[in-house]
Amino acid sequence: MPERVTISRFKATCLALLDKVKRTGQPILITRRGEPIAQVLPPPPPERPAAWLGSFQSTGTIVGDIIAPPLEEGEWEGLRS
């Protein structure tokens, strides 16, 4: 059952009550002369983007030697003088 707060108390302590709702996750029911007139609910949890790390797992294949250089040392253009 949500906490009940009179409208005059809500008006006087609005920011503190909003912080309390966010911190505790518990709703607050605002009343006028005992009748509910509004309800303050906590915000929904933030949407998290899908994790991109590991998203290509098992999609590639290794063909050949991945450690050896692709060209022989004599064929490297940067080593030619």
Delimit the domains of the chain by residue range. Answer: 3-40
The correct answer on CATH 3.30.70 for the domain covering 3-40 is no
* Residues of the chain below pLDDT 70: 79-81
In terms of C-beta density within 10 A (0-12 exposed, 13-18 middle, 19 or more buried), how is residue 33 classed?
exposed
pLDDT the model gives residue 76 = 73
pLDDT tens digits, residue range 11-34? 999 999 999 999 999 999 999 999
Inter-residue contact 58 to 32 (CB < 8 Å)? no
Round the average pLDDT of the chain to a whole number and report it.
87
pLDDT the model gives residue 70 = 75
